[in-house]
């Protein structure tokens, strides 16, 4: 059953509606155009829907006064493709000229939600979890875990907080979060001390041994900074993994090459 209210002066109506897969598909056909959909975001929403973690939180699906869908494409696409029905606030009758103001507020990140719950180093923690999800996929920046998934991860692995603290490095912030992910995995494989030594090379500039791959990575990053030409973030993360995989075994590295697979041994 839908519960509807209407503001006579504006012609805007608000309802809490039950939306199944078929209805979501019909709503999407009424689209007035949209930005490019983000596959990772849709997959994140689908996972929440399939696991029963998608909740009605007051965020609305919006149609303008011509009946065109102007907000809610990601949620409706996830509903349509997952086959899971949802309940959502649906707003109809919004002036089409007002579309340009939709979604222009400051969105809360997962880090913001963690911070509101009193979590320290919340942004680092969120980023480290994101990397760990992407490592599971085997591709950098391929995951977009939902807030629910991140909170569940924190509850399952409370030592992720230590990894977030480990990631909070000012010296080399571009690799801080991948260092956090490395440390998290190292804690599970009994190599936490090696991970600490790995980070220490970046802090001190002192190689751990001859041909130290951590030092090679540090020097590469320094040279890139001097030239003003940095590798992409995903390339840098791959190089950090390559350096770590050699460092943990005490192997030297004349040069570093980004591995084809985005994996850390033990995860």
Q: In whole angstroms, give the CA distance from residue 152 to residue 147.
A: 9
131 phi/psi in degrees, rounded to 5:
-65, -40
Per-residue pLDDT tens listing for the chain (267 residues): 555 555 555 689 999 999 999 999 999 999 877 778 888 889 989 999 999 989 998 999 999 999 999 999 999 999 999 999 999 999 999 988 777 776 655 566 777 777 777 778 888 999 999 999 999 988 888 888 888 999 999 999 999 999 999 998 877 888 999 999 999 999 999 999 999 999 999 989 999 999 999 999 999 999 998 998 888 999 999 999 999 999 999 999 988 888 888 999 999
Which listed CATH number (3.30.40, 3.40.50, 1.10.10, 3.90.1530) goes with 3-95? Answer: 3.90.1530
Specify the pTM: 0.72
Instruction: Give the H or E element holding residue 16.
Output: strand 12-19
* Region(s) of the chain under CATH 3.90.1530: 3-95
Q: Are 87 and 16 in contact (CB under 8 A)?
A: yes
| Distance between CA atoms of residues 242 and 38, nearest Å | 29
- What CA–CA distance (Å, rounded) separates 56 from 60? 9
């Amino acid at each position: 059953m839908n519960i509807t209210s209407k503001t006579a002066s504006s012609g805007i109506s608000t309802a809490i509606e039950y939306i199944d897969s078929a209805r979501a598909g019909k709503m999407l056909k009424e689209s007035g155009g949209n930005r490019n959909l983000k596959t990772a975001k849709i997959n994140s929403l689908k996972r929440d829907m399939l696991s029963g973690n998608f909740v009605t939180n007051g965020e609305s699906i919006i149609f303008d006064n011509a009946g065109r869908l102007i907000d809610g494409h990601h949620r409706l696409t996830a509903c349509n493709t997952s086959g899971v029905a949802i309940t959502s606030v649906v707003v109809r009758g919004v002036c089409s000229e007002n579309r340009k103001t939709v979604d222009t507020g400051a969105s809360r990140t997962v880090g913001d939600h963690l911070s509101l719950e009193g979590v320290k180093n919340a942004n680092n923690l969120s980023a480290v979890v994101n990397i760990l999800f992407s490592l599971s996929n085997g591709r950098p920046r391929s995951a977009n875990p939902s807030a629910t998934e991140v909170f569940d991860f924190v509850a399952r692995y409370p030592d992720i907080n230590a990894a977030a603290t480990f990631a909070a490095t000012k010296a080399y912030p571009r690799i801080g979060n991948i260092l956090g992910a490395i440390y998290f995995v190292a804690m599970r494989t009994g190599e936490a001390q090696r991970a600490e030594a790995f980070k220490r090379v970046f802090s001190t500039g002192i190689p751990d041994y001859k041909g130290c791959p951590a030092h090679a990575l540090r020097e590469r990053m320094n040279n890139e900074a001097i030239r003003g030409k940095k590798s992409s973030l995903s390339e840098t993360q791959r190089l950090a993994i390559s350096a770590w995989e050699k460092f943990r075994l005490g192997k030297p590295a004349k040069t570093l090459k980004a591995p084809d697979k985005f994996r850390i041994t033990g995860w």
